[in-house]
Amino acid sequence: MTKKVLINEVGLRDGLQIQQKFVPTEGKLELGQALIDAGVRAFEAVSFVSPKAVPQMSTAGEVWAGLPMKDEIYYSALVLNEKGYDRAMDSGAKVVSMALASTNKMNEANIRLDLESASAMFVKLIKRAKDDGVETRGYVSTAMGCPYEGDVPVETVVELTKLMLDAGADKISIADTIGSAHPEQCKRIFATVVEKWGADIFGAHLHDTRALALPNAWAALEEGIREFDSSIGGLGGCPFAPGAKGNVATEDLVFMLEQSGYETGIDVGGLLRAVGVAERLVGLKLGGRITEWWLSQERKKAKAAAEAA
């Protein structure tokens, strides 16, 4: 099985969407460039959603227009309804993400539709995207726990996955939106969907609320998953899921994978420089669990080089 792992950086969208300090277009593009410089080659860059509901995404069109290296970088945009899809198409998006929550209450909080209505809407959008020649990434969000309804049966995840695949979705990402999963649960869910459809079309979207994002990523990895969402510095959270903390930090995930013999093409040192950019933009102290140790090693190297000079 391949040792190559695709990291889909979601810091520009999921990471920034709940930040109190507004990050202007130029700041978002600066952060994107810092991540590209570190070797990141896949991004969920924006969401075309209501500016009133998610003010950070009010400049989505401007950000999309300014994204560099569009022929070389895999960029996707999140859409949650037909209006958002229309905006994405007007902006020239070639890949769209669609997040279908696993429960009635989460869909009602997120998009003001019950599960049945949300399912019908996303099926319609996926079919439209297929007709338009646009790649679709379907997310089963709150797949490992809902903040309003609690545990989610594996059968529900399978049912919603099948719904989106049958409609024509190209990829499916299973999302632990509130960071409630544990490794055995994560392994069970991914083992189930991989047995039915194979691993190649699946990705994992993990949050670190309970400090289990890395073990959960490893559980998914063992089931053959080779695509993971992550967010620089651990930025993130869901504005409609109370208590949900940030996504798994890109620097932690990349470090774990590279140390374990997997290939991401991403430089941890470059990621930590991007963390510095993100800190300045949002006015918060950021960084994954690897940060302090990595910086201490850099200081040791610098000291040794100075003494040898």
* Active-site residue set: 238
Instruction: Report which of 250, 232, 194, 209 is spatially closest to residue 32, judged by C-alpha positions.
Output: 232
- 4-21: b or e for each residue (b if 16 or more CB lie within 10 Å)? ebebbbbbbbbbbbbbee
Identify whether the C-beta of residue 109 lies closer than 8 Å to the C-beta of residue 103.
Answer: no
> How far is CA 113 from each of CA 47, 93, 104, 107, 155, rounded to the nearest angstrom?
18, 25, 8, 6, 21
Identify whether the C-beta of residue 272 lies closer than 8 Å to the C-beta of residue 39.
Answer: no
- CA dist., res. 236 & res. 247, Å (int): 5
CA angle 144, 150, 153 (to 5 degrees): 50
Q: Which residues pair with 75 in a beta bridge?
A: 43
Residue 150's contacts (CB-CB under 8 Å, 6 or more residues apart) are: none
The first and second tokens of residue 248, run together, are 């798994």
- CA dist., res. 41 & res. 36, Å (int): 6
